[in-house]
Amino acid sequence: MSAHDKLLGLAARPKVAVHKFSSCDGCQLAFINDAVSLLELSTLVDIVHFAEAGPLDEFAEVDLAIIEGSVNTKHDIHRLEMIREKAKYVLCIGACAITGGIQALRNYQDEKGLLSWQEGVYPQRTDVIIAEDLPTAKPISAYVPVDFEIPGCPITSIQLVSAVRAILFGVEPEKNVDSVCVSCKHAGITCVMVAKGEPCLGPVTANGCEALCPSLGRGCYGCFGASKYANIKALKQQFRDMGLTEQQITHKFQFINSQDAGLQGE
């Protein structure tokens, strides 16, 4: 079903809920930090649940559930299933909801390794933590069907408002297929990898930040996840040729979006 067909039944003034799972709250700030947009949005939709901003009705029937964060606990699987059941559409915002985010670095630990982390951080009552912790931090789509996604760590207010506007118009939010390199070229930013020898994930990272890091003279570290035509193999070879160790290269790819399918490869 196309997004257009899917969105045909959307109410003229939809009910919207904003939910948080495991995250830093930074993507919700795309609403709150731009309070003018939040006030404007509140005239277009009914915000029935948005704990950080105030309204509370967690399991209300809604047209659109906007979800931030990854799933790391047993309780959250249950909560997510309830939210999905009550929502016509689910829009995931940010790296945590889409790929598991930085906390998905735990997924590289075996059971014993994770136990050592749990004991290291919560030495007195590790049992309370173990009872709830899942072995992995996973994206929302690992547990329930997801309709739309906005990538980024964090997402921007413009991305969010554009996506909500698009959905209100009955169209799918635009997906950016380009890499960060495209923004560098548009903005006339000198390539930091070529000119300064800074390792940069820009060639394989989805655009959306307007080449923020290269504009500050530093390499991209992959906040927006893999770009559509990412050539992982070629970039890893480039990093080797620049003298990076295998561990340094692994760390580059295993960071904000380590579980992103598009960032895997030799």
Partner 1 sequence: MSLDKTTKIEIPILARVEGEGALDLEITKGQITKCDVRIYEPPRYFEKFLEGRAPNEIIDAVARICGICPLAYQTAAAGAMEQVFGIEISQWAKDARLLMMLGQWIQSEYLHIHLLATPDFLGYRSGIEMAKDYPNEVLRGVRLQHLGNDIMKLFGGRSVHPNGVKLGGFWHSPKESAVKAFIPRLEAALKDAEDVIKFVSGLTFPDTTIPFTQVSLRHPTEYPVIADHIVTSDGLEFHVNDYDKHFREFHAPQSTALHSTTLDGRPILLGPLSRINLNFDRLPKHIQDMANATGVQFPSKNMFHSVIARAVGSYWALERALQLCHAYTYTDTPSAPEKVCAGDAWFAVEAPRGVQIDHFTFNAEGKATNIRISAPTSQNLPCIEANLRIALEKFGLDRPDHEIQLHAEMVIRNYDPCISCSSHFLTLNVTRK
Q: Residues interacting with partner 1, by CB under 8 A?
A: 20-30, 32-33, 35-36, 38-39, 42, 47, 51-56, 58, 72-73, 75-76, 101-103, 105-106, 117-118, 120-125, 128-129, 132-133, 137, 153-154, 156, 209, 212-213, 215-218, 221, 223, 248, 251, 255-256
When the beta carbons of 9 and 113 are compared against partner 1, the nearer one is 113
Q: From the CB of residue 232, how many other CB atoms can be counted at a distance below 10 Å?
A: 16
Shortest reach from residue 101's CB to partner 1, in Å: 7
Q: Please state the closest distance from residue 91 (CB atom) to partner 1, in A.
A: 18
Q: How far is the CB of 6 from partner 1 (least distance, A)?
A: 29
Q: For the CB of residue 199, give the shortest distance to partner 1 in the complex, in Å.
A: 11
**Terminal Cα-to-Cα distance of the chain (whole angstroms):** 35
Helices (H), ranges, 20-153: 29-32, 35-44, 74-86, 94-99, 111-121, 126-132
User: Which one, of 151, 147, 173, 168, lies nearest residue 40 by Cα?
Assistant: 168
Q: Tell me, what DSSP letter sits at residue 226?
A: B
Instruction: Identify any residues that bridge with 22 across adjacent strands, giving them in sequence order.
Output: 70
Whose Cβ is closer to partner 1: residue 6's or residue 218's? 218
Residue closer to partner 1, measured from CB, 55 or 265 = 55
| SS3 at position 136 | strand
